[in-house]
């Protein structure tokens, strides 16, 4: 009885870490990799150059070395780090959202066709942007791709909802199947467009589809900022609902959750996250699958921890992978998707083998 | 009082409930019995607000359920579904706490944990709180879900006089005799403490032993209601279940229902054919 | 708790290390303007031209398409594939002049490099007889080797003129199919508008796949339809003769005139498609290979 009494004050399962400590640890981890990402690069410019770089960007010096420090630190590494953080956070949370929605730990935005839809729109923009779609694409400039990919992700999702909701209730099983079908359709259309494109576009597509942050720029950072804000706004409105979904759709309703609304928010937030991430970094897999999984192993399935935690851990992971991508074969660089698979797959395998199926039935 | 009034539920052309009226009242344990496909679970889901009646209405303290926002409904009734699968690795405590944290009653996790631990004591699982759900037996899991429903009702803010209903769909289905008794005792205690309890149950003897009222259903309609003594009579049950049943009374006065044993005459008759 | 503490200590140490790491490349601080230019060459043809102009000592780094001369990738740093450059990677070789093909990418990186203060010059990648001397003269001006460039360009113009002369003597033009690669039994062919198309025309042949736009994978039925008299296939490192010969055994090619006469020509990729200083030689070699009979192309050595 004494052990029970000593536990009675604990507002969580004693096998789980305290939430505050967990978030603090994750934030410190994110901070460390972010600082490393700013400090490390093929030019060897370190953070010692930061004051000079800031002076140059504020116009206090026109010294050539300072201008270069500014370029590397402020215009190359900083936006790249921010973009990596966004992409990681977006992919991590969208994975967590989809897994919560489908009650399937292996669900991924790719499964419901959102990634394929975003990719199709991006591919179409790349290929047709020089041709028939030029009047639309050209004025959008560098924003054309993010806008197109988000629209593609959203259109796919809305189409999905329309199909799944035709018989009144939005059944999750129908959604999953429709998503697979739409994803396949989008991939097929992408294939058609790629076939119609010429050599140069094809090669751009190849590298784009392997995922890379080498094209990071402040413009891309600005382009995804509204998406980041929107996702940050939606996630706190999702955690309770998705916690209800952990028990099942009917059970969520019994517990007072408006299940249709939860699904809609999750779908829109996922489309925004995946669309924006695909637009700026291409198709980067693996983050959405593994990051929420790792968090659940540590903290349990409570989405109040898993969703924000996946954002932080996803950001840290992608920044870390990007550091490796740019340093290993420097001055050339690797596609980040390869790095993530190389880091993540063994970790994932290890976790699965060590913890069994992590308690899944 | 939670009341179904002339509730009709259709799915396509199929009529699942053909005008059913039932009321459950605080302090009473009402058991719904009937053969498979009688519409018992459909009635429970309609009364839980999960299914919209095609016709008729479900009223909670006189107010149509359709006018209740789901969040407010969650303060007034909790449901234990026939089977609930958790797809992620929960501890027992975490699963029970969901009853208090998901509805957004605005209580802190610490208080939710206190309520969850009380609910676990009520179902006799207090020493299980750090166990993973998937390591429990089917009966233990069922009790965890009952604890979650209790946790929901005990933490929900309600005004005095408002009915709090507990709806359970076959909570004893996977349990052995010991746990059947334990779970039904917990449920009975809930009704005795003033909750309106609706219990869908297959086992007629358990219904007879624990229920205050029994509602017998067949083909989407109510074919009998009253005390266990009134409803559990040989003719009505044999007719409803389509087989010959034998009713006895135990030494403590409870009804006992058994399928009639095949008599020697029937056996020889069958052999002769 | 202990884990968290240990983690925080490690994190702090890592941060301190990152902050203390001083400039790893002292060359960065050196003022490069008073010494010879440091050239980053992006594009196989550009590197080849720079070497032909005797500028190899000024080249500090190249991209991975700079396969010729083979010394280039051996002696110089590689900044990776020309279409997947890294801005900081390119800057880390501390160039003062970046000469890049207009096919270099990704676009954002090119944009960042252009805004980096390092001189960035784009060389138009026109696969044509006129495009090659244009490139050479342009690069010659950039590196201050105008005379050498003029001499080289003039020589190439002469060679192309002589090739043009030889081309007129071809009596019956052959239809030739250019196969870039065979993957899983499917051939990717060079269609209209490609460097492959240009080099075939320069070699006096008609592109059998002229109706296809760009480099495209095609199926066996379409290969049959092309009915080429000869097939040109890329020779790659690690691809032996035996593997290349499989080209003519593709179902779609087995019934074509090329298969009947066993006309399979293997060429080095950069040599025939690069449109560098060796383009006239490549076109002539190709012409000789396509028209081995009657000594048509042998008129000029």
Please say whether the dihedral angle defined by the alpha carbons of residues A190, A194, A197 and A200, taken in this order, is positive or negative.
positive
* A167 or A218: which leads in pLDDT: A218
* Yes or no, beta carbons of A332 and C105 under 8 Å apart: no
Across the interface, whether the CB atoms of B93 and A360 are under 8 A apart is answered no
Q: Say if the Cβ atoms of B85 and A248 lie within 8 Å.
A: yes
Token code pair at residue C31: 């003022």
Give φ, ψ of B7 to 5 degrees: -75, 125
- For the record, the structure tokens of B165 come out as 């209903």
> Has residue B158 got a pLDDT over 80?
yes
Whether C1 sits inside 8 A of A21 (CB atoms) is yes
3-state secondary structure of A143: helix
**Tokens 């208090």, residue?**
B100
When pLDDT is cut at 50, 70 and 90, the band that residue B262 belongs to is: low
How far away is chain A from the Cα of B139, in angstroms, using its nearest Cα? 16
- Chain Cα centroid distance, residue B194: 16
Closest C-alpha to A274, from A104, A101, A152: A152
User: At residue A225, does pLDDT exceed 80?
Assistant: yes
Lowest-pLDDT range of A164-178, B106-120, C51-65 = A164-178
Which chains would you list as touching A if contact means 3+ CB atom pairs under 8 Å?
B, C
CA distance A192 to A351: 39
Q: Do B102 and A244 touch (CB under 8 A)?
A: yes
Domain count along chain C: 2
Q: What is the pLDDT of residue C26?
A: 40
**How high does pLDDT run on average in chain A?**
82
| Residue A155 to chain C, least CA–CA distance (Å) | 27
What superfamily does domain B1-76+158-227 belong to in CATH?
A: P-loop containing nucleotide triphosphate hydrolases (3.40.50.300)
The two three-digit tokens of residue C101, written as one number: 């093909």
Nearest CA in chain C to A202: C215
Q: Are B35 and B17 in contact (CB under 8 A)?
A: no
Residue C300 maps to a domain: no
B79 touches chain A (CB under 8 A): yes
pLDDT at A303: 95
Once rounded to an integer, what is the mean pLDDT over residues A3-20? 72
Does residue C186 share a domain with residue C98?
no
The CA distance from A250 to A149, in Å, is 34
Q: Where are the domains of chain B?
A: 1-76+158-227, 91-157
pLDDT score, position C4: 53
- Report pLDDT for C119: 94
CA–CA dist B201, B198 (Å, integer): 10
* Residue C50: domain span: 2-125
Identify which of A41, A47, A67 has the shortest CB distance to residue C117: A67
Which domain covers residue A106, as residue numbers? 24-42+81-355
Please give the average per-residue pLDDT across A344-357, as a whole number.
67
Q: Is the pLDDT of residue B15 over 70?
A: yes
Examine residue A15 and state whether it is found in any structural domain, yes or no. no
- b/e per residue B165-204 (b: at least 16 CB within 10 A): bbbbbbbbbebeeebbebbbebbbebbeeebbbbbbbebb
Q: What 8-state DSSP symbol labels residue A101?
A: H
Task: Convert the pLDDT of each residue in B118-156 to its tens digit.
Answer: 999 999 899 999 999 988 988 889 899 999 999 999 999
- CA–CA min distance B152, chain A (Å): 8
Q: Are C287 and C204 in contact (CB under 8 A)?
A: yes
Q: Give the single-character DSSP code of B67.
A: G
C165 inside domain: no
* Interface contact A8, partner B, CB < 8 A: yes
Interface mutation target, options A43, A196, A221, chain C, most CBs of C under 10 Å: A43
Helix/strand/coil for B55? strand
Which of C88, C91, C183 is best to mutate for the A interface (most A CBs within 10 A)? C88
More confident residue, C82 or A214: C82
Q: CB of B109 within 8 Å of any CB in chain A?
A: yes
C 186-205 near A (Cβ less than 8 A): 193-194
Q: A360, B90: Cβ pair inside 8 Å?
A: no
Which segment of A50-64, A318-332, C156-170 scores lowest on mean pLDDT? Answer: A50-64
Share of chain B residues as helix, strand and coil, in percent rounded to the nearest 5: 40, 25, 35
pLDDT score, position A167:
52
Residue with tokens 């999984």: A293
For tokens 């010096």, the residue is A61
DSSP string, B114-125: HHHHHHHHHTT-
Rounded CA-CA distance A193/C192 in Å is 18
pLDDT of residue B165 exceeding 80? yes
Evaluate if residue A267 carries a pLDDT over 50.
yes
- How is C118-161 classified by DSSP, letter by letter? SEEEEE----STTHHHHHHHHHHHHHT-HHHHHHHHHHHHHHHH
DSSP sequence for B201-266: -S-HHHHHHH-SEEEEEETTEEEEEESHHHH--HHHHHHHHTS-EEEEE-TTS-EEEEEPPPPHHH
Helix C146-168 × helix C131-143 angle, to 10° = 170
ipTM of this predicted structure: 0.91
Q: Which of A54-63, B55-64, C11-20 has the highest mean pLDDT?
A: B55-64
Window A:74-113, CB contacts with B under 8 Å: 103-105
Contact A43 C92 (CB under 8 A): yes
Report the Cα–Cα distance between both ends of chain A, in Å, rounded: 31
Tell me if C255 is assigned to some domain. yes
What is the pTM for the complete model shown?
0.83
Comparing CB atoms, the residue among A246, A252, A253 nearest residue B88 is: A246
pLDDT, residue C300, reads 44
Highest mean pLDDT among A166-170, B84-88, B147-151: B147-151
B233 near A CB under 8 A: no
Chain centroid offset of residue C88 CA? 23
Which of the residues A27, A36, A44, A61 would you substitute to probe the C interface, choosing the one with the greatest number of C C-beta atoms within 10 Å? A44
Does the beta-carbon distance from C18 to A333 stay under 8 Å? no
**Domain-embedded: residue A51:** no
* B109 contacts on A by Cβ (under 8 Å): 11-12
With a CB-CB cutoff of 8 Å, which residues 150-179 of chain B face chain A? 152
Using a CB-CB cut-off of 8 Å, the residues of chain B touching A299 are: none
C89–A330 C-beta distance less than 8 A: yes
Share of chain A above pLDDT 70, in %: 85
| C146 inside domain | no
Q: Quick one: pLDDT at residue B41?
A: 94
Kindly determine whether residue B130 and residue A14, on different chains, have CB atoms separated by under 8 Å.
Answer: yes
Report if residue C134 sits inside a domain.
no
**Closest C-alpha among A142, A121, A138, A158 to residue A271:** A158
CB A152 within 8 A of CB A118: yes
Please report the sign of the dihedral spanned by the C-alpha atoms of residue B79, residue B85, residue B88, residue B89: positive
Q: Select from C117, C150, C118 the least CA-distant residue to C42.
A: C118
- Eight-class DSSP state of A67: H
Which residues in chain A (340-359) have CB-CB distances under 8 A to chain B?
Answer: 358-359
pLDDT recorded at residue A104: 74
Neighbouring residues of A319: CB distance < 8 A, sequence distance ≥ 6 = A30, A33, A34, A36, A37, A81, A84, A85, A88
* Interface contact flag, B71 A7, Cβ < 8 Å: no
- C140 near C150, Cβ under 8 Å? yes
Is residue C160 included in any domain, yes or no? no
Q: Are B50 and B83 in contact (CB under 8 A)?
A: no
Q: Give the span between the Cα atoms of C284 and C166, in whole angstroms.
A: 9
Whether residues C256 and C187 share a domain: the answer is yes
Indicate whether B53 pLDDT > 50.
Answer: yes
Q: A182 versus C183: which is more confidently predicted?
A: A182
Q: Which helix (H) or strand (E) holds B24?
A: strand B14-24
Residues facing residue B268 across a β-bridge:
none
Is A294 among the domain residues?
Answer: yes
Q: What is the mean pLDDT of each run of 10 residues along chain C (301 residues)?
A: 54 52 42 71 94 94 92 92 89 94 86 90 91 95 94 95 92 92 83 92 94 85 90 71 70 86 87 92 93 59 40
Q: What pLDDT shows up at residue B268?
A: 58
A and B interact (at least 3 Cβ pairs within 8 A): yes
Residues 230-249 of A with CB under 8 A from B: 240, 243-244, 246-248
As given in the structure block, the two tokens for residue C19 are 């902050």
- The reply to whether C114 and C14 lie within a common domain is yes
Kindly state whether A264 is in contact with chain B, defined as any CB-CB distance less than 8 angstroms.
no
Least confident of A105-109, A213-217, B226-230, C139-143: A105-109
CB-CB neighbors (< 8 A) of A65 in chain C: 28-29
Q: Does residue A166 belong to the interface with chain B, where contact is any CB pair within 8 Å?
A: no
d(CA C162, CA A218): 52
For an interface test with B, give the residue of A2, A254, A257, A292 to mutate (most B CBs within 10 A): A254
Compute CA distances C114 → B244, C50, C269, whole Å.
93, 21, 30
What are the chain B neighbours of A16 within 8 Å (beta carbons)? 91, 94
Q: Which helix (H) or strand (E) holds A276?
A: helix A259-281
CA proximity to B202, closest of B168, B236, B242: B168
pLDDT of C1: 45
3-class state of residue B173 by DSSP: coil
CATH code, domain with C208:
3.40.50.1980
In whole angstroms, give the CA distance from residue C16 to residue A341: 29
Provide the pLDDT for residue B120: 95
| Cβ contact B158:B115 at 8 Å | no
Q: What is the CA radius of gyration of chain B?
A: 20
CB B219 within 8 A of CB B38: yes
Residues of C in contact with A207 (CB under 8 A): 81, 83-84, 105-106
Token readout for C134 is 């244009």
Q: Closest approach of chain B CAs to the CA of A1, in angstroms?
A: 9
With a cut of 50, say whether residue A360 has pLDDT above it.
Answer: no
Q: Do A214 and C8 touch (CB under 8 A)?
A: no
Classify residue C166 by burial, with Cβ atoms within 10 Å: 0-12, 13-18, 19+: buried
A46: three-class secondary structure by DSSP: coil
Q: Could you give the CA distance from residue A157 to residue A160 in angstroms, rounded to a whole number?
A: 5
The string of DSSP letters for C48-113 reads: HHHHHTT-GGGEEEE-TT--SSTHHHHHSEE---TTS--HHHHHHT--SEEEEETT---HHHHHHH
């Amino acid at each position: 009885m004494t052990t029970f009494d000593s536990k009675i004050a604990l507002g969580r399962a004693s096998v789980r870490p305290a939430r505050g400590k967990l978030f603090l640890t994750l934030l410190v981890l994110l901070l460390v990799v972010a600082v490393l990402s700013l400090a490390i690069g093929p030019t060897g410019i370190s953070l010692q150059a930061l004051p000079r770089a800031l002076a140059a960007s504020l116009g206090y010096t026109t010294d050539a070395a300072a201008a270069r420090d500014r370029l590397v630190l402020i215009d190359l590494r900083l936006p790249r780090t921010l973009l990596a953080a966004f992409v990681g956070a977006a992919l991590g949370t969208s994975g967590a959202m989809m897994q919560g929605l489908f009650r399937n730990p292996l669900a991924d935005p790719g499964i419901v066709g959102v990634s394929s839809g975003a990719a199709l729109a991006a591919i179409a923009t790349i290929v047709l942007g020089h041709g028939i779609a030029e009047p639309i694409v050209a004025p959008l400039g560098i924003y054309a791709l993010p806008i197109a990919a988000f629209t593609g992700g959203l259109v796919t999702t809305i189409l999905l909802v329309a199909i799944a909701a035709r018989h009144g209730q939005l059944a999750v099983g129908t959604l999953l199947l429709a998503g697979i079908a739409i994803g396949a359709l989008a991939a097929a259309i992408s294939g058609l467009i790629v076939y119609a494109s010429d050599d140069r576009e094809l090669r751009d597509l190849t590298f784009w589809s392997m995922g890379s942050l080498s094209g990071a720029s402040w413009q891309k950072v600005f382009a995804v900022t509204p998406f980041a804000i929107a996702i940050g706004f939606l996630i706190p409105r999702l955690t309770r609902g998705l916690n209800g979904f952990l028990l099942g759709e009917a059970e969520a309703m019994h517990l007072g959750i408006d299940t249709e609304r939860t699904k809609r928010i999750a779908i829109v937030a996922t489309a925004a996250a995946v669309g924006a991430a695909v637009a700026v970094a291409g198709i980067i897999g693996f983050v959405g699958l593994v990051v929420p999984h790792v968090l659940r192993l540590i903290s349990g399935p409570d989405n109040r921890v898993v969703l924000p935690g996946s954002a932080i851990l996803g950001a840290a992971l992608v920044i870390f992978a990007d550091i490796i991508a740019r340093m290993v074969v420097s001055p050339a660089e690797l596609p980040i998707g390869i790095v993530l698979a190389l880091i993540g797959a063994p970790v994932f395998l290890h976790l699965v083998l060590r913890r069994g199926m992590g308690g899944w039935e | 009082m939670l009341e179904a009034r002339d509730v009709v539920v259709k799915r396509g052309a199929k009529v699942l409930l053909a005008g059913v009226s039932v009321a459950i009242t605080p302090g009473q344990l009402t058991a719904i019995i009937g053969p498979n496909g009688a519409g018992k679970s459909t009635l429970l889901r309609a009364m839980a607000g999960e299914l919209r009646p095609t016709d008729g209405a479900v009223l909670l303290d006189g107010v149509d359920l359709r006018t209740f926002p789901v969040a407010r409904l969650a303060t007034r009734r909790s449901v234990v579904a026939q089977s609930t699968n958790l797809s992620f690795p929960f501890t027992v405590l975490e699963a029970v706490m969901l009853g208090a944290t998901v509805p957004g009653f605005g209580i802190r996790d610490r208080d939710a944990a206190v309520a969850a631990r009380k609910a676990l004591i009520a179902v006799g699982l207090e020493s299980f709180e750090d166990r993973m759900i998937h390591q429990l037996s089917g009966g233990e899991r069922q009790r965890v879900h009952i604890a979650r429903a209790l946790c929901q009702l005990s933490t929900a803010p309600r005004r005095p006089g408002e009915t709090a209903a507990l709806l359970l769909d076959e909570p004893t289905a996977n349990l052995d005799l010991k746990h059947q008794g334990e779970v039904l005792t917990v449920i009975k205690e809930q009704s005795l403490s003033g909750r309106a309890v609706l219990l869908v149950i297959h086992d007629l003897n358990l219904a007879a032993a624990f229920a205050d009222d029994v509602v017998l259903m067949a083909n989407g309609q109510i074919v009998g209601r009253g005390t266990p003594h009134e409803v559990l009579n040989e003719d009505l049950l044999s007719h409803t279940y389509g087989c010959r049943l034998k009713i006895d009374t135990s030494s403590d006065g409870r009804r006992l229902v058994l399928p009639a044993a095949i008599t020697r005459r029937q056996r020889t008759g069958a052999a002769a054919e | 708790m202990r884990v968290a503490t240990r983690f925080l200590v490690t994190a702090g140490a890592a941060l301190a290390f990152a902050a203390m790491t001083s400039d790893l490349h002292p060359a960065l601080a050196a003022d490069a303007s008073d010494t010879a230019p440091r050239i980053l060459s992006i594009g196989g043809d550009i590197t080849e031209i720079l070497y032909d102009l005797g500028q190899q000592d000024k080249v500090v780094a190249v991209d991975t398409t700079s396969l010729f001369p083979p010394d280039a990738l051996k002696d110089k740093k590689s900044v990776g594939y020309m279409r997947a450059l890294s801005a900081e990677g390119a800057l880390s070789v501390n160039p003062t002049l970046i000469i890049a093909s207009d096919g270099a990418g990704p676009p954002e990186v090119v944009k960042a490099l252009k805004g980096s203060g390092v001189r960035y010059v784009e060389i138009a990648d026109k696969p044509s007889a006129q495009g090659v001397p244009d490139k050479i003269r342009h690069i010659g001006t950039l590196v201050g080797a105008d005379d050498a460039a003029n001499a080289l360009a003039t020589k190439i113009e002469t060679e192309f003129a002589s090739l043009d002369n030889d081309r007129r003597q071809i009596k019956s033009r052959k239809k030739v199919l250019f196969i870039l690669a065979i993957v899983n039994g499917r051939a990717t062919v060079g269609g209209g508008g490609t460097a492959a198309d240009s080099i075939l025309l320069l070699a006096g042949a008609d592109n059998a796949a002229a109706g296809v736009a760009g480099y495209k994978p095609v199926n066996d039925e379409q290969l049959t339809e092309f009915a080429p008299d000869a097939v040109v296939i890329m020779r790659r490192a690690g691809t032996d003769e035996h593997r290349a010969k499989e080209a003519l055994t593709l179902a779609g090619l087995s019934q074509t005139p090329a298969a009947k006469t066993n006309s399979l020509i293997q060429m080095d990729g950069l040599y025939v498609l690069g449109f560098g200083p060796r383009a006239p030689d490549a076109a002539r070699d190709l012409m000789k290979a396509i028209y081995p009979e009657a000594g048509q192309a042998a008129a000029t050595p």
